[in-house]
């Protein structure tokens, strides 16, 4: 399905950001070609802690196509998790081999798998044996502590995956150094010789759809995955610019977001987690900063709704 489209613009999985609530809002204001769930730890899922993590698998039909992203280092737990996930009818399973957060790395998971190809292969094989017809993909980086595109991406290509997302950084690199798109282009050339049917998405530092289109042409990728930029402009995938969105529309979208949040989660303990979206929607107009200061003092959805009603009165 994705191959037919030409090129793919995907929203990156981002823990604590790209949950079903936000994805449902994006379906209305600018839907990417492909969503990923936040990553789900298979060991956590296969333990007594399942209740705490299972919400990461939530998605609505409207969000499709949506790929479920898993992480962990026990092939058997991947297989068990996928037995459950398959029933949800996602559009693919992605294995995280790119995360560089210390807790994930210290237990040999995420991008630590770049250093353990035997285990990486066992995981890919276990996933492939479990998924049935679902596509299998990997999201990763260009090396652990030195660039190893040929070795690592070459190895992944030999596994004949359906898709590989290449974030052009090393595991040890934070966001201060730029994503190396020349290495992403090298991955595309490797793909052409090793596994022509594998899609390559490039990832890292892309700000908007125009830049994504440019990069598809310039670096030859089949698509681009965009992460952090979505919080600067949640309308990004529609091609609309921040300055083209009225404050009234911004208020409406924030209201809708919180309505979906109440329906899906409704948990006052995590209300503060919603403030990043207040910042994302209520920005890029004259009085946005003042309004945000007031909205940030709210500690419930109903307080935000009241404030939005009073802002609307002021502006009408």
Ligand X SMILES: Cc1cc2nc3c(=O)[nH]c(=O)nc-3n(C[C@H](O)[C@H](O)[C@H](O)COP(=O)(O)O)c2cc1C
Residues that bind ligand X (CB under 6 A): 12-17, 38-39, 69, 96, 98-99, 139, 167, 203-206, 226-229
User: Which CA distances in Å does 254 have to 55, 227, 302?
Assistant: 22, 20, 12
How would DSSP label each residue in 14-48? -TTTS-HHHHHHHHHH---SBEEPPPEEHHHHTST
Contact of 22 with 276, CB cutoff 8 Å: no
| Distance in Å, CB of 148 to ligand X, minimum | 18
| Distance in Å, CB of 284 to ligand X, minimum | 19
The closest of 287, 298, 216, 215 to 255, measured between CA atoms, is 298
| Distance in Å, CB of 308 to ligand X, minimum | 26
Can you read off the two tokens belonging to residue 26?
A: 């994006």
| 99 labelled catalytic | yes
Phi-psi region of 266 (alpha: psi -120 to 50; beta: other; left: phi over 0): left
The CA distance from 48 to 272, in Å, is 26
C-beta closer to ligand X: residue 19 or 251: 19
| Distance in Å, CB of 285 to ligand X, minimum | 24
What is the torsion angle, in degrees rounded to the nearest 10, for the CA atoms of residue 234, residue 307, residue 246 and residue 235? 10
C-beta closer to ligand X: residue 17 or 298: 17
| Distance in Å, CB of 22 to ligand X, minimum | 12
The closest of 203, 193, 136 to 165, measured between CA atoms, is 203
C-beta closer to ligand X: residue 148 or 173: 173
Q: Nearest residue to ligand X, using CB?
A: 227
C-beta closer to ligand X: residue 170 or 307: 170
Contact of 50 with 85, CB cutoff 8 Å: no
C-beta closer to ligand X: residue 201 or 307: 201
Q: Which position among 7, 27, 46, 99 bears the catalytic label? A: 99
Contact of 37 with 45, CB cutoff 8 Å: no
User: Catalytic site residues?
Assistant: 99
């Amino acid at each position: 399905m994705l191959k037919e489209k030409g090129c793919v613009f995907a929203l990156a999985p981002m823990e604590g950001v790209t949950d079903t609530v936000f994805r449902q809002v994006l379906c209305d204001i600018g839907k990417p070609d492909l969503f990923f769930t936040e990553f789900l730890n298979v060991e956590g899922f296969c333990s007594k802690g399942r209740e705490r993590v299972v919400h990461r698998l939530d998605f609505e039909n409207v969000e499709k196509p949506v790929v479920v992203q898993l992480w962990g280092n026990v092939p058997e737990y991947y297989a068990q998790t996928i037995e459950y996930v398959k029933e949800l009818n996602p559009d693919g399973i992605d294995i995280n081999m790119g995360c560089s957060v210390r807790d994930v790395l210290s237990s040999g998971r995420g991008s630590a798998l770049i250093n353990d190809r035997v285990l990486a292969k066992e995981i890919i094989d276990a996933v492939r044996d479990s998924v049935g017809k679902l596509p299998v993909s990997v999201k990763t980086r260009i090396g652990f502590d030195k660039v190893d595109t040929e070795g690592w991406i070459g190895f992944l290509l030999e596994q004949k995956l359906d898709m590989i997302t290449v974030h052009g950084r090393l595991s040890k690199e934070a966001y201060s150094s730029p994503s190396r798109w020349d290495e992403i282009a090298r991955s595309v050339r490797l793909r052409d010789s090793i596994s022509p049917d594998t899609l390559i998405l490039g990832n890292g530092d892309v700000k908007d759809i125009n830049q994504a289109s440019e990069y598809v042409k310039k670096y030859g990728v089949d698509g681009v995955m965009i992460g952090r930029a979505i919080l600067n402009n949640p309308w990004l995938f529609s091609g609309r610019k921040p300055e083209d969105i009225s404050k009234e529309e911004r208020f409406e979208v924030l209201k809708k977001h919180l309505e979906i949040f109440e329906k899906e989660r409704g948990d006052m303990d995590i209300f503060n987690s919603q403030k990043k979206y207040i910042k994302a929607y209520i920005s890029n107009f004259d009085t946005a900063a003042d309004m945000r200061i007031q909205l940030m003092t709210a500690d419930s959805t109903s307080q935000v709704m009241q404030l939005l009603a009073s802002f609307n009165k002021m502006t009408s």
